[in-house]
């Protein structure tokens, strides 16, 4: 670390990312793997993660928004990029200009894409989106035939794939996930009924990759799994994952707090006896959530210590009791020491949220350092 770099940072282990991708590929066999790199690659760095994945010759990358796809193209990524989310009509030319794969969630949008591609004298690569129970975007499964039929009437559209999304594949009860898979497969019968080959079929997210092998079909879409986070306990037992991100800070202040003196905003915590408290230069503006107040732990000098008082916008206090800590000592917020580990799942549990939100909430003002 250079002398001017902020004393709070994330380390991104690109070798662990490679391990996870290969482990997922081994698990699904001949099924294609589309790594999901939306939301700044879940906080891991969009361009850097995509560059590493391109080196691994992944067949395609998945993003949420067209802007993410454009950003990857400007970063020099040439791998096919599928924009999984919807787009407004004025964004269609951006897809064509940057050779991005469309999601067509309606007949109207499909026709708009076709008209734009015809005007540009090109063909648009499209995946048709079917709603099997998420009620987000996509044509309802019982109306899928209208979308499939419309696509056959769009000469400037090439339907590469058809997909849907599980709403509850990470739940212990997989009954509804099974219903969604059944609905999807029934809708896809349109193709053999019309003597047509199936487009690329995909439904499996991270949880379904492990929990529902029958849902692998032609392609799977790992997101959280790629970054070494198990969406379910069963996942970690079946795929050898390595955490890709660790989050660290440094002690910037030490003081003795006398018994009964409250710490931080709102006076939500005070020691029962005189204790040692250190301050860290990290807070909720960095994504270290306010909900972690009086709940989280950190690692300092290979010992676990409690976060005390309310997490502030830019600073967090830790009770080290009778231990020693000095300015500049490293603090682990997410990661491992010799004897202890704090995981993304731990932060999610302490703040009563999900690992996805923990990762994507780490803001851009926290520097990332990438390692191979």
Position 132 pLDDT exceeds 80: yes
Q: What is the mean pLDDT of residues 140-153?
A: 98
Stated pTM of the model: 0.95
The two tokens of residue 92 are: 């269609």
pLDDT above 90 covers what percent of the chain? 95
Q: Can you give the pLDDT at residue 234?
A: 61
pLDDT above 70 covers what percent of the chain? 98
Catalytically annotated residue among 142, 253, 265, 326: 265
Residue indicated by tokens 């009770």: 319
Q: Can you give the pLDDT at residue 159?
A: 98
The two tokens of residue 157 are: 């559209």
- Active site annotation includes 356: no
Q: How confident is the model at residue 2 (pLDDT cuts 50, 70, 90)?
A: low
Q: Can you give the pLDDT at residue 5?
A: 84
Listed in order, strand segments (DSSP E) in the chain are 8-13, 32-33, 61-63, 81-83, 102-104, 124-131, 139-140, 157-163, 200-204, 219-220, 245-250, 253-257, 275-280, 297-300, 303-308, 316-321, 330-336, 341-342, 368-371
Instruction: Decide if 178 contacts 185 (C-beta within 8 A).
Output: no
Tell me how far CA of residue 169 lies from CA of 134, 166, 177, 180, 232, in angstroms: 11, 6, 6, 10, 9
- Active site annotation includes 38: yes
Position 3 pLDDT exceeds 70: no
Q: What is the pLDDT of residues 193-243, one digit of tens each?
A: 999 999 999 999 999 999 999 999 999 999 999 999 988 766 667 899 999
The two tokens of residue 181 are: 């898979």
- Please name the residues in contact with 104: beta carbons below 8 A apart, sequence gap of 6 or more: 110, 113, 126, 127, 128, 129, 147, 151, 157
DSSP for 182-224? HHHHHHHTHHHHTT----EEEEE-HHHHHH-GGG-TTEE--SG
The CATH number of 245-371 is which of 2.60.120.10, 2.40.37.10, 1.20.140.10, 3.50.50.60?
2.40.37.10
What SS3 state is found at 76? coil
Catalytically annotated residue among 38, 52, 109, 129: 38
Per-domain residue ranges of the chain: 14-230, 245-371
Q: How confident is the model at residue 114 (pLDDT cuts 50, 70, 90)?
A: very high
Q: Nearest Cα to 246, choosing from 142, 347, 349, 134? A: 347
Q: Do strands 330-336 and 297-300 pair parallel, antiparallel, or not at all (unpaired)?
A: antiparallel
- Rounded-to-integer distance, Cα 333 and Cα 10, Å: 10
Q: Can you give the pLDDT at residue 233?
A: 66
Q: What is the pLDDT of residues 307-348, one digit of tens each?
A: 999 999 999 999 999 999 999 999 999 999 999 999 999 999
Q: How would you label 144-167 residue by residue, b for 16+ Cβ within 10 Å and e otherwise?
A: beebbebbeebebbebbbbbbbbb
Q: Which CATH class is domain 14-230?
A: alpha beta
List, in sequence order, every residue forming a beta bridge with 202; answer none if it has no partner: 163, 219
């Amino acid at each position: 670390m250079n002398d001017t770099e902020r004393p709070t940072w994330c380390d991104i282990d690109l070798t662990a990312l490679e391990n996870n991708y290969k482990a997922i590929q081994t698990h699904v066999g001949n099924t294609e793997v589309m790594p999901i790199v939306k939301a700044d690659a879940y906080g891991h760095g969009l361009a850097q993660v995509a560059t590493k994945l391109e080196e691994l010759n992944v067949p395609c990358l998945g993003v949420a928004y067209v802007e993410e796809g454009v950003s990857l193209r400007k970063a020099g990524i040439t791998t096919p990029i599928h924009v999984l989310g919807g787009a407004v009509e004025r964004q269609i030319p951006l897809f064509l200009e940057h050779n991005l794969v469309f999601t067509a969630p309606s007949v109207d949008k499909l026709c708009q894409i076709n008209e734009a591609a015809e005007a540009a004298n090109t063909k648009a690569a499209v995946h048709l989106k079917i709603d099997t129970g998420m009620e987000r975007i996509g044509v309802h499964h019982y109306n899928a035939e209208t979308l499939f039929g419309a696509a056959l009437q769009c000469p400037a559209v090439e339907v590469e794939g058809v997909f849907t999304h599980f709403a509850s594949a990470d739940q212990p009860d997989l009954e509804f996930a099974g219903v969604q898979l059944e609905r999807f497969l029934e809708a896809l019968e349109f193709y053999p009924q019309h003597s047509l080959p199936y487009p690329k079929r995909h439904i499996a997210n991270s949880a379904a990759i492990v929990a529902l092998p029958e849902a692998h079909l032609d392609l799977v879409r790992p997101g959280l799994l790629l970054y070494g986070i198990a969406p379910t306990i069963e996942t970690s037992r079946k795929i050898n994952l390595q955490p890709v991100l660790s989050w660290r800070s440094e002690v910037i202040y030490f003081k003795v707090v006398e018994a009964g003196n409250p710490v931080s905003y709102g006076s939500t915590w005070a020691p029962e006896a005189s204790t040692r408290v250190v301050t860290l230069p990290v807070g909720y503006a960095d994504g270290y959530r306010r909900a972690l107040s009086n709940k989280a732990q950190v690692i300092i000098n290979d010992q676990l210590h409690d976060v005390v008082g309310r997490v502030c916008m830019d600073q967090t206090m830790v009770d080290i009791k009778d231990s020693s800590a000095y300015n500049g000592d490293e603090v682990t917020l997410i990661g491992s020491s010799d004897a202890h580990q704090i995981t993304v799942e731990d932060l999610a549990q302490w703040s009563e949220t999900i690992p996805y939100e923990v990762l994507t909430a780490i803001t851009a003002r926290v520097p990332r350092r990438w390692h191979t």
